[in-house]
Structure 1
């Protein structure tokens, strides 16, 4: 599955675009000025995405990767 397919599936499941999730992550303190806060761990973000949006591990980690700037 391509990275874009992951993002499309996440948006279909949650109703949130990657930009929406970035904005919400900023509100949670995970991102600052669009950049991942250095002290934030993958587990924190994964647990948030899984509990708040019902994402599975793989989809949550795709968002983590997006937050790290590995995909734009």
Structure 2
């Protein structure tokens, strides 16, 4: 499955766009100015996504990759 397919599936499941997840991560304090804050671990982000949006590990990691700057 391509990275974009992961993002598309996540949006279908949650109703949230990649941009929405970026904004929410910022509000949660995981990111600042579009970058993951120093000291924030992938597990913190993936646990949030699994708990709040019932994402599986692979889909949560796709959002983590998005927050790290992956675009394709």
**Shorter-chain-normalised TM-score: which range?**
over 0.9
TM-score (norm 1): 0.96
TM-score (norm 2): 0.96
Any idea what the Cα deviations from partners look like across 1:5-54, whole Å, max 9, x if unmatched?
A: 00000000000000000000000000101111111100000000000001
Q: Which runs of 4+ in 1 moved over 3 A?
A: none
Structure 2 CA distance for aligned equivalents of residues 36 and 14 of structure 1: 22
Larger relative contact order, structure 1 or 2 (CA cutoff 8 Å, min sep 6): 2
Structure 1: stretches of 5+ with no match in the other structure: none
Structure 2: stretches of 5+ with no match in the other structure: none
User: Number of aligned pairs?
Assistant: 72
Map of 1:12-31 to 2, 5 A cutoff?
Answer: 12-31=12-31
Measured on the aligned residues, the alpha-carbon RMSD in Å equals 0.9
